[in-house]
A = this chain, B = another copy of it.
């Protein structure tokens, strides 16, 4: 029986661990113990002052108050501290010859517009025309028919639809692959953009002397029976910030060129840029 009175800066940790591991699953106990040990070690190592503790409480509170249906400031914080990419790395260790993963980001929307291949998903977003031609395959290169492909990206000013006034979708859609595992969608070329930096995370980046930018990219989430869900981006070759992504998400294998296709020569009539999305899914 651990004494629960007169706890000092050393004895308090075992006392708290004994309490937070009283109930819950074995995994819950493991997580709760590890969280307590790291939080306590952090405070001891830093000899955290009461003013700094108050700052931390206030920072977390402001971060929580910034979260809404269209803004996830805690995901931004996780992204900006490299935690999101670390968790991604831990959970996707053996891609083999499959497409690498990267951060989910805070701008995914459940129930994006369901479109058919060939659709224009640019909606109200402005920018230079971009054709996204995709092929979803398994590790051996066989086509995956009926895969559910979510695509979302920013506009030429670096804003997602959910950051703009009004509720209509733009630069966002869900499409199924055909019998050859293929799809194509028209949209616009996204720009690099700052993660939303008018909140606590932006203030943190300012203090840390960091810019808030991400290189230009298109998000993909691909789901198909028998395969692991893939969450990734394709980054646009030549974009600014490929070597200083604020969320640490760039992988060389995910950087792809966009090619200018003259009018009449491509699969649509007008001149446009072309992004090839050749994706290989890992087995479930």
* Chain A residues proximal to chain B, CB less than 8 Å: 4-9, 12-13, 15-16, 19-24, 28, 30-32, 34-36, 38-50, 52-53, 57, 60-61, 63-65, 67, 72, 74-75, 78, 81-91, 93, 206-210, 242-245, 248, 250-252
**What does DSSP make chain A's interface, helix, strand, loop or mixed?**
helix
What 9 A-B pairs come out closest when comparing CB atoms? A64-B64, A23-B209, A16-B82, A9-B89, A22-B209, A24-B207, A38-B38, A53-B87, A5-B250
**Are A12 and B86 in contact, CB atoms less than 8 angstroms apart?**
yes
Write out the residue numbers on chain B whose beta carbons fall within 8 Å of the beta carbon of A53. Answer: 78, 83-84, 87
**Are B242 and A15 in contact, CB atoms less than 8 angstroms apart?**
no
**Are B82 and A23 in contact, CB atoms less than 8 angstroms apart?**
no
Closest to A9 in B: B89
Q: How far is the CA of A121 from the CA of B208 in the complex (A)?
A: 47
The complex is assembled from copies of this chain, and their number is 2
Shortest distance from the beta carbon of A75 to any chain B beta carbon, whole Å: 6
**Are A6 and B251 in contact, CB atoms less than 8 angstroms apart?**
yes
Q: How far is the CA of A32 from the CA of B90 in the complex (A)?
A: 22
Closest to A246 in B: B19
Write out the residue numbers on chain B whose beta carbons fall within 8 Å of the beta carbon of A6. Answer: 250-252
**Are A244 and B4 in contact, CB atoms less than 8 angstroms apart?**
yes
- Show 21 A/B contacts (Cβ-Cβ < 8 Å), sorted by A: A6-B251, A8-B89, A12-B85, A13-B86, A20-B208, A22-B210, A23-B208, A24-B209, A28-B208, A30-B46, A31-B52, A34-B46, A43-B86, A43-B90, A44-B86, A47-B90, A50-B87, A50-B91, A57-B78, A61-B67, A64-B65
Shortest distance from the beta carbon of A49 to any chain B beta carbon, whole Å: 6
Q: How far is the CA of A88 from the CA of B43 in the complex (A)?
A: 11
Assuming the A-B contacts A24-B209, A42-B38, are A250 and B87 also in contact, with contact meaning beta carbons closer than 8 angstroms in the complex? no
Write out the residue numbers on chain B whose beta carbons fall within 8 Å of the beta carbon of A207. Answer: 23-24, 28
